[in-house]
Structure 1
Amino acid sequence: MFRLLVITAPIALPDEPRLLTNLLDAGLPSLHLRKPGWPAAQVETLIRAIPTPFHKRLVLHEHPELVRQYHLGGLHLTGAQRAATGPRPSLRSGQTLSTSLHSLAEIRRHRRRYDYVFLSPIFNSISKQGYASGFQLPEVQKCLELLATRVGYCPHVLALGGVAAENIGLLPSAGFAGAAVLGTIWQSIDPVAAWRQLTAQTL
């Protein structure tokens, strides 16, 4: 089943807890809380503003202590965090560990350590100007098929970067297990409607 995740805007948004809760209430399976530079106390305030029943669907991009404390869904590592972390971080049973990768070679190298990974930018980024795609979908498909059949293991790879209604339908046939979206959601006047439109394109 194709998974569609949402990454938060990197800055605070007006009435953000309500917006995030509305997405989760609409059925969003996983919400990545990415707030670069926010101290743990500020991230904790945001977590506490989201109803507890949704905490299992939250994945943090920093502050593993909060992942454990609030029994969140998982922890996501950036490249810098991945280099600094060393062994797998200590998480509770059932919590996921994911990371962001930017080449097929990185997928081959890190594939056994993570429950799922983001590969980006698959298309030209919507939220980052000048962040252009460096991938060809047939090449990605060939790599993922090779890992799954010849090597015997390929993590769930989710497409990130420039994913929108007009191109998301290309991703399942290219071997992606899902997609993570940011700009398409937060540049919309109705984030829930934008998420639902994307979901409809993958059914």
Structure 2
Amino acid sequence: MNKNPFLLLGITDGSPQSQDIATTQLLLTGGLDFLYWRAPADSAGLTQLPTVFQPSILLPASQGSAVPASFRWHLKDADRWSATFADGLPFSTSIHSLSEWPRLAGQVELVLYSPLFPSISKPGYGPSSSLVVTAQEVSAIRQQHRALPLLIGLGGIQAENVALVRGAGFDGAALMGALWQVADAVDALRQIQEVLSR
């Protein structure tokens, strides 16, 4: 796993490349901190993934009991209001309004916020405000609240703008189109890491 405090999280897009176990291992050994695997674990051969990598995989489910113990539970925002937490708290969830972020303190460790930039994988989908305005809102929330989940930016992030995400006060960046809409996801991750190391 990446030891840099700025986390990098990949998100599968349903393509064969994004659900290839060998590519998953290369990305995780190459510095990707987490991979949000949007397909059911049993349908994708994830159980073939060596156990050392399994805690880096986030799996979506409406209940934690649906996620194998060695993986991490991602609770989709649409399921958040109906979920029960008798079997534990989710590791992560998603939001589309920063006002929801403080309300998730003590409930999740990671919050994915989107969109920051025009989407690579969803043409026509983009932010409602500029990154400058978003950065001001992130800063104001951090000043008002001490214990917050880590905030991961999502939406249109690639090598050309990932440093802006870090500069805007995010704890990490989620990558989808930047990994899967290129010829080599491992090389794309390396380029993003190079930008962040400057």
User: Which range, TM-score by smaller chain?
Assistant: 0.7 to 0.9
* Mapped partners of 2:133, 2:98: distance in 1: 9
* Mapped partners of 1:14, 1:90: distance in 2: 29
| 1:168 correspondence with 2:162 | yes
SS at the partner of 2:121?
Answer: coil
* Mapped partners of 1:106, 1:51: distance in 2: 35
* Mapped partners of 2:80, 2:90: distance in 1: 15
1:194 is aligned, of 184, 188, 192, to 188
Mark the CA change 1:182 to 1:153 in structure 2 (over 3 Å): closer, same or farther: same
SS at the partner of 1:85?
Answer: coil
* Mapped partners of 1:14, 1:143: distance in 2: 33
Equivalent residue pairs, number:
192
Q: How far off is 1:42 after superposition?
A: 1.1
Unmatched segments (≥5 aa) in structure 1: none
CA contact (8 A) 2:152 2:174 kept: yes
Mark the CA change 1:15 to 1:130 in structure 2 (over 3 Å): closer, same or farther: closer
Q: How far off is 1:111 after superposition?
A: 3.8
Structure 2: which amino acid aligns with 1:102?
A: H
Q: How far off is 1:14 after superposition?
A: 8.3
* Mapped partners of 2:179, 2:32: distance in 1: 12
TM-score, normalised via structure 2 length:
0.86
CA contact (8 A) 1:144 1:154 kept: no
- The structure where helix makes up a greater share of residues is 1
Corresponding residue number in structure 1 for 2:171: 177
Mark the CA change 1:184 to 1:89 in structure 2 (over 3 Å): closer, same or farther: farther
* Mapped partners of 1:27, 1:138: distance in 2: 28
Percent of aligned positions with the same letter in both sequences? Answer: 32
* Mapped partners of 2:24, 2:95: distance in 1: 25
TM-score, normalised via structure 1 length:
0.84
* Mapped partners of 1:176, 1:14: distance in 2: 25
